[in-house]
Amino acid sequence: MILKKIVLVIILLSFVSCDPLKKEEFVLKASDFQTEINGKKTDLYLLKNEQIQVYITNYGGRIVSLLSPDRNGSPEDVVLGFKSIADYQKAKTPFHGCLIGRYGNRIAKGSFELDGTIHQLPINNNENHLHGGPDGFHNQVWEVISTDKNAIVMSYLSQDGEMGYPGNLGVEVTYAINEKNELSITYKATTDKDTPVNLTNHAFFNLAGQAKGSINDHLLMINADHFTPVDRGLIPLGEIRSVEGTPFDFRRAKTIGQDLNQQDSDTQLSHGGGYDHNFVLTKESPGSMSLAARVVDPKSGRQMDVFTEEPGIQFYGGNFMDGSDVGKYGTKFEYRSSLALETQHYPDSPNQPAFPNTILQPGETYQTKSIYRFSIAE
């Protein structure tokens, strides 16, 4: 373990010294991520190829930093995050870059019925349950099974009754990068009791780099003919609604801010304070890997394509950020300074029988994969 830490420090120093990113701008130190939480050790890990570098901590399985070049070859950090474990623990927004579970997104009133039993979960988002609760997967130390320069495999055992969920759920997540500049996230899980499972990652992106200004000028395409409208608490109404003629039509790329002037007149934009909705992805067959979304920053030329096997994707436009959190470069995370594209099953599915099933049973293996590809827009 000591040797691994020495190697990581050497890699970090060599990266800082030879990369076009200015030395004084790159602030991550492995020592700021090496601590213990509930008797489990945390650390910082680096995945890299010739173009991109991804820093990950096993505290919450978080993407801490992702450096990607612009059209001139100059790298910038396109993921919002913090420079220490302590900063993550005190952040107002607790979900930066983390693995989300057991259930990503909201469950109405934190309650669902399964096999004749009503399960009550913690309420942590107005009157609803969000992202697995206050001590969900984002707040856990994951065990690192293996790691090299291209991949890291982590596991976590969520015990029966944790955050109110039934069953012992064993989870394994693999982050990997390849020469196509793709960051893939593969999720696997098994259980010994019926339980809802909906795993995702909650990275906040700004392709201009380092939370530089609003994301409203980013171009966004979402491959979805429909979305799931919500009530004021952002719980789906149970309807699958066409995006045609609405601000939610991103089938052709448009700036994120193009239709936000309709927020006062469009009920759905009003409920979300902007975009915070699940889109029903257009797929040739259920479970197939397909392009879900594309984001382009016109100024830098950076492009991010999101592929997934999941049926939905949550587009969140940073509506609730208010500058309270200050990131690793001393930049405040201001209103709409980042976006999240969370691949997922639909919110509140345990209470919505018409939605795709999210109940994992003993003997089954939950498995899904999502890919984030970084390139330069043509």
Q: Which residues are catalytic?
A: 202, 342
Half-sphere exposure of 347 (CA within 13 A, CB side): 31
User: For residues 204 and 191, what is the distance between their CA atoms, to the nearest angstrom?
Assistant: 30
User: For residues 202 and 308, what is the distance between their CA atoms, to the nearest angstrom?
Assistant: 14
